[in-house]
Amino acid sequence: MKAEAFTSCKATQAMIEKTSREGVTTVFHRVREKKTCPFGSGGTCCRLCYMGPCRVKDDGQDAGVCGATAETIAARNFCRMVAAGAAAHSDHAREVALVLLAAARGEAPGFEIKDEEKLWAVAQDLGIDPVGKSKNQLAEEVALKALTEFGQQEGELSFVRRAPQKRQEVWRRLGIIPRGIDREIVEMLHRTHMGVDQEYVHLMLHGMRTALADGWGGSMIATELQDILFGTPVPIRAKVNLGVLKPDHVNIIVHGHEPLLPELILLAVRDEELLAQARAVGAKGINVAGICCTANEILMRKGVPVAGSVLQQELAIATGAVEAMVVDVQCIMQGLGQVARCYHTELFTTSSRARLPGVTHLEFDHHRGLEVAKEIVRRAIARFPQRRKVEIPVEEMDLIAGFSHETIKYILGGRFRASYRPLNDNIINGRIRGVAAVVGCSNPRVRFGDLHTTLVRELIANDVLVLVTGCAAINCAKEGLLVPEAAEMAGSGLREVCEAVGMPPVLHCGSCVDNSRLLIAATEIVKEGGLGEDISEVPLCGCAPEWMSEKAIAIGQYFVASGVTVGFGVAFPTTGSAKLSEFVFGGMKDYVNAHWFYEPDPVAMARTIIAHIDAKRKALGIDVAKERVLYDMDMRRKLEVV
């Protein structure tokens, strides 16, 4: 099959053709050989015990050996995905909290507190009085308090109090406020064990609780503590796509999700001794680029170029220009090892939680992280003379990233009048129709990146402001959607706002844990007033058109539980059960005033999102522009002054 069938990205096409010529197998080759399991994709294959595994038809009569029905099996599988996704984000957060604690105690060379203002704000949200404490004393208390959120057995997670009061009341009424992050994940796994919870609605309610432990717990802790350690992102210009690799430099790619070691690698590559070593082997310098969510983390704080999203990890190595690829956790393909062996690239695993067979393991330890970073850089330099043929695609694109929820406030109102008021006013007056969050992975079972970009173009053309994270952000960036000039593609109202502020119509808000920023942004809209008293009333929708990971399910579920309707493309893991799908796509709304929807076509998904936003506008009474009235003196006298 021709490379054009996989993607419209020219750089990706070139590398697919190159690997095909060279006999190197990548994700794009493997996906054509593997068929999806119809029972597995619909959620009705049960592997929880070895009386089976059982594949169950949804005909009202079939059941597993134990008697489990299609809806029970699908609900268990769905909830296990939520638990795994929440565990991934939360384990990431735990590692960041441990590094913050070590940095505060002076035990982590290379790490320091970069954002003291954010430290104070987070401390107060965690119930800690910051007054009279040094920066490091306060950071130590914040880290210790964050770590207690994981093992807490009773009560409520601290960040839950950030949500609108009305949303908290919904959660309390349903009994789904998370008590502790680890507790909810463990209980979810227990409930889905063979012979435990077998009522699908009851399972799904705890699935919401587990997801909330991610969104308002693990992910939010990761985001906030990373801002404290590395600085809260502000808008920054950079480059994206495989063309950011440099033929005359030592190229190091960092890939994964935890920005801890990558931050130290960025420090190490500025070391004059290492730069001299690079020049001694014929390189002009050392170039660091990112893949996947690590890319988003160091992009939005340091302006480090992005080589690509998750599906380009093998292709980056295939350029022949990458001396070292450094990976940690999540979205790392095992095929990387085989591809790296075809070239001169040294592949490093660095997390105690993840290894690849036949790959160099150089473990990150925050007590000696800078030593590890320098060792990786030295070994990358040593690989430079081993290069063979280098073929770097020319494609690269400008982007602007770094729109944290604090930044959005700032760009709308300035330092002294920072506020969501201009955003709310422009939603109320109709210049901005509403807001859509387009998030999630890339999936090779659809044309890579096209669902994201087709959907986003349709949304902004209809005056919907788009917030992007993760690989969705990278794919949109490659198509020129993350620069102010993209406002030319927007509808007249959104274009007017973007041009007045000088911002793109598509805002890069970070990595996958940074979806928690979107929860805070939605809450800020509610608090600002004029658009309802709960997140569920705001003209807002979320979607993941190309999702593929369990983390995406966890993210989607915590958005739905927070009052945001969410759409997924590609496939949906409940469609094997009519009863469960009926609940997920509709009945869930009776519990949390939001629901899921499934739509694989990006244009149809855009229409569904726009219709949802329009329905929210109508419910708020802002669907029709109010007629302007010129008041005479008699009318003014009749006005009541409060």
Q: How many angstroms separate the CA atoms of 622 and 618, rounded?
A: 6
In the chain, the N- to C-terminal Cα span, in Å, equals 71
- Three-state secondary structure of 97-127: HHHHHHHHCCCCCCCCCCCHHHHHHHHHHCC
33's CB contacts (< 8 A; 6+ apart) are none
- Three-state secondary structure of 270-310: CCHHHHHHHHHCCCCCEEEEEEHHHHHHHHHHHCCCEEECH
What letters, b where the CB count within 10 A reaches 16 and e where it falls short, cover 330-346?
A: bbbbebbbbbbebbbbb
**Domains of the chain, with CATH numbers?**
63-230 (1.20.1270.30), 242-386 (3.40.50.2030), 405-620 (3.40.50.2030)
Q: Which residues are annotated as a binding site for [4Fe-4S] cluster?
A: 37, 45-46, 49, 54, 66
Does residue 539 register a pLDDT over 90?
A: yes
pLDDT in tens, 433-447: 999 999 999 999 999
Percentage, residues of the chain above pLDDT 70: 97
Mean pLDDT, residues 50-78: 95
User: What is residue 634's predicted lDDT score, i.e. its pLDDT?
Assistant: 74
pTM of the model: 0.95
Q: How many angstroms separate the CA atoms of 490 and 476, rounded?
A: 14
Does residue 413 register a pLDDT over 80?
A: no
User: What is residue 642's predicted lDDT score, i.e. its pLDDT?
Assistant: 44
What tokens appear for 587 in the block? Answer: 């009945």
Does residue 423 register a pLDDT over 60?
A: yes
Could you tell me which of 165, 75, 70 has the C-alpha nearest to residue 588?
75
User: What is residue 184's predicted lDDT score, i.e. its pLDDT?
Assistant: 98
What tokens appear for 432 in the block? Answer: 């901005």
Residues forming beta bridges with residue 598, ordered by sequence position: 568
493 to each of 430, 432, 455, 497, 540, how far by Cα in Å? Answer: 7, 6, 19, 7, 17
Decide: 211 and 554 in contact? Cβ < 8 Å: yes
Mean pLDDT of the chain: 95
Which 8-state DSSP code applies to residue 386? G
Mean pLDDT, residues 350-358: 96
- 396/639: higher pLDDT: 396
Does residue 518 register a pLDDT over 80?
A: yes
Decide: 54 and 46 in contact? Cβ < 8 Å: yes
Which 8-state DSSP code applies to residue 505? S
Q: How many angstroms separate the CA atoms of 317 and 15, rounded?
A: 10
What letters, b where the CB count within 10 A reaches 16 and e where it falls short, cover 151-165?
A: ebeeebbbbbebbbe
pLDDT in tens, 278-337: 999 999 999 999 999 999 999 999 999 999 999 999 999 999 999 999 999 999 999 999
Q: Which residues are annotated as a binding site?
A: 37, 45-46, 49, 54, 66, 257, 293, 331, 441, 471, 512
590's CB contacts (< 8 A; 6+ apart) are none
Mean pLDDT, residues 221-241: 97
pLDDT in tens, 166-215: 999 999 999 999 999 999 999 999 999 999 999 999 999 999 999 999 99
Q: How many angstroms separate the CA atoms of 351 and 208, rounded?
A: 29
User: What is residue 625's predicted lDDT score, i.e. its pLDDT?
Assistant: 66
Does residue 36 register a pLDDT over 50?
A: yes
629: pLDDT confidence band, cut at 50, 70 and 90? low
User: What is residue 414's predicted lDDT score, i.e. its pLDDT?
Assistant: 63
User: What is residue 415's predicted lDDT score, i.e. its pLDDT?
Assistant: 63
Q: Which residues are annotated as a binding site for [Ni-4Fe-4S] cluster?
A: 257, 293, 331, 441, 471, 512
User: Which residue type sits at 24?
Assistant: V
pLDDT in tens, 391-404: 999 999 999 999 99
Return the minimum-mean-pLDDT range out of 43-47, 82-86, 490-494, 628-632.
628-632
Mean pLDDT, residues 545-569: 98
Q: How many residues does the chain have?
A: 642
Q: How many angstroms separate the CA atoms of 400 and 501, rounded?
A: 14
User: What is residue 408's predicted lDDT score, i.e. its pLDDT?
Assistant: 82
The position carrying tokens 């506020």 is: 419
Does residue 635 register a pLDDT over 90?
A: no
